């Protein structure tokens, strides 16, 4: 069985920054409330006409450059997104076309904020079977396009972005383990109550906007992020003390802090990009990974624990040696 290891990371945030002061002018809120309850100070918003595929392309090119390989060396693209440019074709196929690496499999994965973790798990299994030698794994979302800018309970949280990694077959891990989960019972705690098959319009009754029961999601998220971390560590004979860097889904500063505390992991060993990124859905984990790789915090051979949690609910973790 082949192992899969990361040979390059990349990230991209759109230029436009939306600050809490900007939000104070749009909705009934205060910058202090947003910082205190979420930790978010600013988030990036895609320009009109700028799409998920645009963000994914920037992040992917940076990951390819960091890996030192050409796009034609990629034989699989798996892309986590909930906000594709089109109903079809997938963002992954359009990304493949733009990068110029035709012919190999390319597809999107819809697991909301867990999209990247799902994509990593899938790509590593392709590599394990020998079907794939080098995979481009992307998390990209323009979540602000499905945010109701009058709903102060959600619009303060989300931003746009993309992150990518190149995985390559290797003799040793690399990815030590990855685990995915889902439980559809929680659908209505965090969802867009509209869609292609059920229909949608821009009226309030059937809007294509995110709806969230925030405090209920919060509780499940904290519990789940702790549970999956312990589960994957225990299964591999490790404890939190073995983890150099925890990279959780960047949902809310308080969720991150509570997760680290419950795991007994010092916050200094957790990558926290909530303040400047907000929640970028599937992009949040690979963006945070890329930030910490590029600023030198993450070093080769560090043990990383990536965690995702999102609508569905979906959740999962990837344990790896960088
Ligand atoms: O990516 C998927 C995972 N998503 C998440 O993990 C999100 C999880 N949830 C959260 O991050 C938090 O629940 C929120 C940040 C969304 C909300 O924080 P909270 O501490 O759970 O607040 P709450 O919803 O319980 O609301 C408390 C109060 C309410 O007022 P009353 O009813 O007590 O008078 C809200 O109306 O805060 C009010 N409120 C606000 N006030 C000022 C809600 N949003 C705002 C706001 N500004 N933006």
Tokens 């569905």 — which residue? Answer: 312
Q: Are residues 301 and 204 in the same domain?
A: yes
CA of 154 to the centre of ligand 1 (A): 8
Report the atom number in ligand 1 closest to the C-alpha of 23: 48
User: In whole angstroms, what is the distance from residue 86 CA to residue 101 CA?
Assistant: 21
pLDDT value at residue 1: 74
Same domain, 94 and 226: no
Could you tell me if 164 and 195 lie in one domain? Answer: no
d(CA 278, CA 305): 20
Q: Which two tokens stand for residue 267?
A: 């916050």
Query: Do residues 242 and 161 share a domain?
Result: no
128 with 189, same domain?
no
CATH of the domain at 299: 3.40.47.10
**Closest residue by Cα to residue 306 from 291, 294, 289, 283:** 289
Q: What lines the ligand 1 site, CB under 6 Å?
A: 29, 33-34, 37-38, 113, 152-153, 156, 190, 214-215, 217-218, 221, 251-252, 255, 279, 309-310
- Where helices occur in the chain by DSSP H, the ranges are 20-26, 31-38, 52-67, 91-99, 115-129, 214-235, 253-263, 274-277, 284-294
How far, in Å, from the CA of 215 to the mean position of ligand 1? Answer: 6
**Residue 199: predicted pLDDT:** 82
Task: Give CA–CA dist 249/241, Å, rounded.
Answer: 20
Task: Show which of 107, 140, 172 is a domain's final residue.
Answer: 172
Token digits of residue 198 = 């059920």
Domain holding 217, by residue range, is: 177-274+283-321
Are 158 and 228 contained in the same domain?
Answer: no
Q: Which of 3, 249, 252, 277 is catalytic?
A: 249
The verdict on 206 and 140 lying in the same domain is: no
Question: Residue 93 contacts by C-beta under 8 Å, 6 or more apart in sequence?
Answer: 106, 107
Pairing of strands 17-19, 42-44: antiparallel
Q: pTM of the entire structure?
A: 0.97
Instruction: State whether 189 and 166 are in the same domain.
Output: no
Looking from the CA of residue 38, the nearest atom of ligand 1 is: 15
Q: What's the gap in Å between 253 CA and the centre of ligand 1?
A: 13
Instruction: Name the residue of 37, 83, 151, 307 whose CB sits within 8 Å of the most ligand 1 atoms, as the mutation to test its pocket.
Output: 37
Asked if residue 313 has a cis previous peptide bond (ω within 30° of 0), the answer is yes
pLDDT of residue 204: 60
Mean pLDDT by 10 residues, the chain (322 residues): 95 98 97 97 98 98 98 97 98 98 96 98 98 98 96 97 98 97 96 87 72 95 94 98 97 94 95 97 98 98 98 98 98
What is the pLDDT, as a whole number, of residue 202? Answer: 61
Q: Both 244 and 312 in a single domain?
A: yes
pLDDT at 206: 61
107 and 215 within one domain: no
Q: How far apart are CA 3 and CA 175, in angstroms?
A: 7
| Whole-number Å distance between alpha carbons of 3 and 9 | 18
| Residue 202: count of CB within 10 angstroms of its CB | 9
249 catalytic, yes or no?
A: yes
149 and 221 co-located in one domain: no
Task: Please give the tally of structural domains in the chain.
Answer: 2
Three-class secondary structure of residue 197 per DSSP: coil
Nearest CA to ligand 1 atom 11: 252
Q: Which of 155, 172, 189 is the last residue of a domain?
A: 172
Specify whether 279 is catalytic. Answer: yes
172, 192, 227 — which closes off a domain? 172
What is the distance between the alpha carbons of residues 128 and 253, in angstroms, rounded to a whole number? 35
Distance 16 CA to ligand 1 centre (A): 25
- Report the residue among 214, 222, 310 best suited for mutation to probe ligand 1: largest number of ligand atoms under 8 A from its CB: 214
Active-site annotation holder among 53, 113, 155, 273: 113
- Same-domain status, 25 and 92: yes
């Amino acid at each position: 069985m082949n192992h899969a290891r990361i040979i390059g990371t990349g990230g991209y945030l759109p230029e436009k920054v939306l600050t809490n002061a900007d939000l104070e002018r749009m909705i009934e809120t205060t910058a202090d409330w947003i910082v205190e309850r979420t930790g978010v100070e600013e988030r990036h918003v895609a320009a009109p006409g700028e799409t998920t595929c645009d963000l994914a392309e920037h992040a992917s090119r940076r990951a390819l450059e960091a890996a030192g390989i050409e796009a034609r060396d990629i034989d699989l693209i798996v892309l986590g997104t909930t906000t594709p440019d089109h109903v079809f074709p997938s963002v992954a196929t359009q990304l493949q076309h733009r990068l110029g690496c035709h012919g190999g499999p390319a597809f999107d994965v819809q697991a909301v904020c867990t999209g990247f973790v799902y994509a990593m798990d899938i790509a590593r299994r392709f590599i394990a079977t020998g079907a794939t030698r080098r995979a481009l794994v992307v998390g990209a979302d323009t979540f602000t396009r499905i945010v109701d800018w009058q709903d102060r309970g959600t619009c303060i949280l989300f931003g746009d972005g993309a992150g990518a990694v190149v995985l390559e077959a290797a003799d040793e891990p690399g990815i030590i383990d990855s685990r995915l989960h889902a439980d559809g019972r929680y659908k209505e705690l965090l969802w867009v109550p509209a869609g292609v098959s059920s229909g949608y319009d821009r009226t309030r009754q059937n809007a294509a906007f995110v709806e969230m029961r925030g405090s209920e999601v919060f509780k499940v998220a904290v519990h789940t992020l702790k549970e999956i971390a312990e589960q994957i560590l225990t299964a591999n004979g490790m404890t939190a003390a073995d983890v150099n860097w925890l990279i959780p889904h960047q949902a809310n500063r308080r969720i991150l802090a509570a997760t680290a505390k419950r795991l007994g992991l010092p916050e200094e060993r957790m990558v926290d990009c909530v303040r400047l990124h907000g929640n970028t859905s599937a992009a949040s984990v690979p963006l945070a990974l890329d930030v910490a790789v590029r600023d030198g915090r993450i070093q080769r051979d560090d043990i990383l624990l990536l965690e995702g949690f999102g609508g569905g609910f979906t959740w999962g973790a990837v344990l790896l040696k960088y």
